[in-house]
Amino acid sequence: MNTGFTLIEVVIAMGVLAIVVSVALKSNITAINMEYAARVTQTVRFEIDRILAETLLDQIETNATNAGKADCDIQASLVKIEKNLDPLHECIVSEQNPIEAGSTEIIQWEIVPKRQPGLKTSVFTHPRQQ
């Protein structure tokens, strides 16, 4: 009597092994993608904290930290908020319009992760008082 595995048994074993390996590989790739998303989110949050802290300290700089430069594009633009008669409704007017009485200038910081632009974040701060 011959000992060993038949061809059907080997094919079934290889199929089961392929399924197990593909599931393990998929879960590993998912974990890597989640780690990257968490790192990018953490970098964006750190840059937001940095911008807010520098605003409170009145030392605003447009430069990002090294991690921010590697993972994010950070842009600052000056916008004007025009106050309507109704204090509950304000509208943002483009920066080309001259500043009128009753309006306020603010800085809009846009933080856009390079590989995940869907996580674009905007932060609004007051400009430095001279």
pLDDT in tens, 37-78: 888 888 888 888 888 887 777 665 555 555 566 777 888 788
Distances (CA, A) of 124 to 21, 65, 92: 48, 19, 12
Residue 2 lies in a domain: no
* Any domain includes 13: yes
- Predicted TM-score (pTM) of the model is 0.57
Nearest-angstrom CA–CA distance, 29 and 15: 21
Instruction: Let me know if residue 130 belongs to a domain.
Output: no
Q: For residue 1, is it within any domain?
A: no
Residue 21 located in a structural domain: yes
Instruction: Domain count for the chain, please give it.
Output: 1
Q: Indicate whether 63 belongs to any domain.
A: yes
Which of the given ranges, 6-10, 35-39, 82-86, has the highest pLDDT on average?
6-10
Burial grade of 51 (CB within 10 A; 0-12, 13-18, 19 or more): buried
The pLDDT score that the predictor gives to residue 104 is 74
In terms of residue numbers, what domain contains 42? 7-125
Domain membership of residue 12 (yes or no) is yes
Q: Quick check: is 92 in a domain?
A: yes
Evaluate whether 82 touches 100 at the Cβ level (below 8 Å).
yes
